[in-house]
Amino acid sequence: MSENAPPPPRILSIAGSDSSGGAGIQADIKTITMLGGYAMTAITAVTAQNTCGVIGVEALSPQFVLDQVESCLSDIGADAIKIGMLGSPETATLLAERLDTFAGPIVFDPVMVATSGSILADEDTIASFAALMDIATVVTPNLPELGVLAGREAIADDEVFDAAAALASRFGVQVLAKGGHAGDETQVFDRIVSPTGKLASFAHARIQTRHTHGTGCTLSSALATMLGYRQPLVNAVRIARAFTYAAIENAPGFGEGSGPMGHQAVRKLEPPEEIPR
């Protein structure tokens, strides 16, 4: 780095480890690095998984997770934090207490189920998400996660805004409601909603592929990185979506199930063509 170049944004990812490298901490490190950030990690759980499913999960002790966080923040510091898989409700509680005074942006991806369909958070852990939404800058649920957080069994396309707005108002948080799980087979429609109303919406053509393992992890860590660069929220979301889209386009085709994305192949960001809504 030249003497005049600014240092890279310091991004701390608090999440689980994916042994197959497609999601979790591994996806976060790849994303943060490819976007020019400095990646640090606090691992909440270790999983044995591949593109077909999760074979096993070993949660780390809540105190040890906190020790990892403290080690990073007390020395190197962080410009933004991304929180993903938690491992236990106790971990969520300790993190919420420790990060309540963190001055930078916090992106919370409320991971409940892996792309393969495997459960990654039990009911008690999901109940503990409220403490983290209270301190988060942005929460990034997909539609099934939004339904759970908003207390609705299912959310129709015309109910997404109302559910996101209710969540945003309740916790004083920005909500990026991701539309990848919607029934539309031709496009993906995402919304950013603040406690005071809708900020922006994005729609692009859906990529027809099974290689989408780690999309939520990638988008949330890309968003944290852009916020670490002090990008305005809407622009940060736009760049994060472009990176995620490009990583899906460049998927290497590995695995028999929901394959990993091609983070390492993204050299130039070309935002997907927006579809007017």
Residues 164, 110: Cα–Cα separation, whole Å: 14
For residue 159, name the pLDDT band (cuts at 50, 70, 90). confident
Q: How far is CA 91 from the centre of its chain?
A: 18
3-state helix, strand, coil in the chain (%, to 5): 40, 25, 40
SS3 215: helix
Does 62 have pLDDT greater than 80? yes
Q: What is the mean pLDDT of residues 55-79?
A: 97
Residues 221, 81: Cα–Cα separation, whole Å: 8
Q: What is the mean pLDDT of residues 72-95?
A: 96
Catalytic residues: 178, 212, 214-217
Tens digits of per-residue pLDDT, 11-56?
999 999 999 999 999 999 999 999 999 999 999 999 999 999 999 9
Does 75 have pLDDT greater than 80? yes
Q: Which two tokens stand for residue 224?
A: 């944290």
**pLDDT score recorded for residue 118:** 59
**Cβ of 231: how many Cβ atoms within 10 Å?**
18
Q: What is the mean pLDDT of residues 244-252?
A: 93
> For residues 20 and 50, is the Cβ–Cβ distance under 8 A?
yes
- Mean pLDDT lowest for which of 60-64, 69-73, 193-197, 268-272? 268-272
Residues 20, 137: Cα–Cα separation, whole Å: 30
**pLDDT score recorded for residue 10:** 98
Q: Say which residue the tokens 């031709």 belong to.
A: 186
Q: What is the pTM of this model?
A: 0.92
Tens digits of per-residue pLDDT, 114-127?
666 556 667 787 88
Mean pLDDT for all residues in the chain: 89
Nearest 5°: the CA angle 143, 85, 58 is: 135
**What number does CATH give the domain 10-265?**
3.40.1190.20
For residue 79, name the pLDDT band (cuts at 50, 70, 90). very high
SS3 22: coil
Q: To which H or E segment does residue 18 belong?
A: strand 10-18
- pLDDT > 90: what percent of the chain? 67
**Cβ of 260: how many Cβ atoms within 10 Å?**
27
